[in-house]
Amino acid sequence: MLTTLITEEFRTQAPRNAVLAGIILLVSAASLGLASLEIPLLSQVLMLLGLLAAMALPPAVGIQMAIEYWQTMSGDRAYLTMSLPVRGRSVFAAKITYAALIILVSTAISMALFLWWLAILAEQTGSSLTEILTPMREAVGTTMLTYFIVVVLLGLVAKAVQLGSIMSIGAQGRWNHLGLGAPAIGLVLLYVASQALALVLLVLIPFSYDLTTGSIVWEWMLPSFIESVTADAEPTVIGLGVAATDPLIAAGLAWWAVHSIERHTCLR
């Protein structure tokens, strides 16, 4: 049944997402293509437009999917959704799975366009893309680069879960009279909770990056943090446990959202 629901998400949402993504992709690609011709003055404007369009792709598609989620889970179209002979957790899982996949794909396209932009910039300055990226990779290190990529990917999926969960939780009977105000308040509370948990995980999880050796160590940041404050010095290690913030919050919110969908959703 989950596969059927995901397939239905692709059937109903993918065409609209493709149209929006296609327009943004066309603007970015056309701008970068013309910018590579190095037309005086116009080239700089086109470079900026191409970069802005490339960076706008994931959030634009994300907003479109968020609107769709709200309409089908809390709005007028939610009556049809809630009439389906499946459990709420299945509907939630299908929508979040689709959203996460589309966000990852749109982010990959956005990064490809950014690399193209960077390559054009490098060519205009008499350099090459390899000459720009190699020093960055060597400065960060392969291990940290891999860690960063994994964290970003997990963070994107977690954000999709969080946003969908907040909207479903806000659709409970005691809050749905607020309309869009409920998820808006939820996002503010989510930000506050995320910052608090991130600080705790930053200093207490024994998993850090040693600034002196440039390696990952199994140490917690708290002693280094206290020493840096008392001695007015820079910390020697930076906690990496903060990366667990979004996944942990996403897991908790997903449980709450499923509970809300199956027992407390109120449509008006």
| Co-location of 87 and 176 in the same domain | no
| Co-location of 91 and 14 in the same domain | yes
Q: List the structure tokens of 104.
A: 């990852």
Instruction: Tally the C-alpha atoms within 13 A of residue 178's C-alpha that lie toward its C-beta.
Output: 15
Tokens 């950014």 identify what position?
Answer: 114
| 62-76 pLDDT tens trace | 999 999 988 888 777
Q: Is the dihedral of CA 261, 71, 184, 56 positive or negative?
A: positive
Q: Is the pTM of this model over 0.95?
A: no
Does the pLDDT value for residue 165 go beyond 90? yes
Which of 111, 138, 165 finishes a domain? Answer: 138
| Co-location of 56 and 124 in the same domain | yes
Tokens 């932009």 identify what position?
Answer: 117
What percent of the chain is modeled with pLDDT above 90? 43
Number of domain units in the chain: 2
Confidence band for 268, pLDDT divided at 50, 70 and 90: low
Per-residue burial over 229-255, b = 16 or more CB atoms within 10 Å of its CB, e = otherwise: eeeeeebbbebbbbbbbbbebbeebbe
Does the pLDDT value for residue 259 go beyond 90? no
Which of 90, 107, 138 finishes a domain? Answer: 138
The pLDDT value given to residue 267: 61
Which of 138, 154, 188 finishes a domain? Answer: 138
| Co-location of 14 and 87 in the same domain | yes
| Co-location of 157 and 78 in the same domain | no
Q: Is the dihedral of CA 243, 247, 252, 253 positive or negative?
A: positive
Residue scoring higher pLDDT (268 or 144): 144
Does the pLDDT value for residue 7 go beyond 80? yes
| Co-location of 114 and 8 in the same domain | yes
| Co-location of 61 and 114 in the same domain | yes
| Inside any domain, residue 215 | no
Average pLDDT, the chain: 86
Q: Residue 232: which region, alpha, beta or left (left: phi > 0; alpha: psi -120 to 50)?
A: left
- The arithmetic mean of pLDDT across residues 236-255, rounded, is 90
Range of the domain at 91: 1-138
| 98-132 pLDDT tens trace | 999 999 999 999 999 999 999 998 888 888 888 88
| Inside any domain, residue 218 | no
Closest CA to 136 of 154, 148, 126: 148
| Co-location of 52 and 129 in the same domain | yes
